[in-house]
Amino acid sequence: MYVRNSDVEFETGVYILTLCVRPSEPTATDPLELMTSTDPNDPIADALLGESTYERLRVKRYALIKRRIPQKLVYQSGLLLVLALVVPIAATYPSSVRAAFPGGEPLWASPLVLWVGVCAGGIQLATASCLVAVSVVRRSREPQLSEATAHTLLNVEDVASMFGLATGGFAILLTVGFFLLGHAGGETFQSVITAAPQNPYKQTAVSVPVIAVGTAAAIGSAVVYLCSLYLRSKSA
């Protein structure tokens, strides 16, 4: 039977048009409709759709450090551990550098630059305590936590994070850097002392030994890390 090409083309066009206009299953166009609050691989969706006012506002707001509190505490624990390295660094100084410290014992000396580390360690412990307090207050008041209270807690968290990880972190790295100069050799060590406006390694009036600061930093690092593990287990 002869079939004209025009008829075949017409029927094909009608079939394609029918497929195009056929109603399909409704699809979610809103990104929030595609999210589930139980998806462990999508923490942003979980925060936006979950019952936590604090987490929802935290995801929406801008912050330089976006990590959650348990992870921030891990970072602070690491910084305190870096500060504790002043003990093995000072203990392994060459004899030419050890002679620059009182009694030739750098571990029991209290150099001026160490006070930068003391302040930095204090900042780490204080801001870590603030972060733990924020987390405890938040969990004790949810799910009835108001947006105003959540914003206040987020402001405290942001300030504590910036002081702890930025300011305190820089001070710790600066302290450890000055201690590492002792391993560059006696000549380099003496040239730094000569070039500096004030001897960064001179003994201070208030004696805080290197070994005491390093030990306290190591203990603080362990405590902060345990706090991060505890808070992480509560949020799991």
Decide: pTM greater than 0.85.
Answer: no
pLDDT higher than threshold 70 for residue 36: no
Count CA atoms within 13 Å of residue 131 on its CB side. Answer: 32
Identify the pLDDT of residue 7: 55
Q: Given this model, what pLDDT does residue 143 score?
A: 77
Spatial distance between the Cα atoms of 215 and 209, rounded to a whole number of angstroms: 10
What is each CA distance from 22 to 17, 19, 25, 206, in whole angstroms?
8, 5, 10, 84
What sections of 142-209 are H helices per DSSP?
Answer: 147-161, 169-180, 186-195
The answer to whether 179 and 89 are in contact (CB under 8 A) is yes
pLDDT digits (tens, 9 = 90+) for 102-123: 888 999 999 999 999 999 999 9
Q: 45 falls in which pLDDT band (50, 70, 90)?
A: very low
User: Residue 70 above 60 pLDDT?
Assistant: yes
Q: Please give the residue that has the higher pLDDT: either 174 or 15.
A: 174
Secondary structure (3-state) at 28 = coil
> CA–CA separation, 224 vs 129, rounded Å?
9
* Number of residues that make up the chain: 236
Inter-CA distances, 197 with 73, 170, 201, Å: 36, 21, 12
Residue for token digits 């201070």?
A: 204
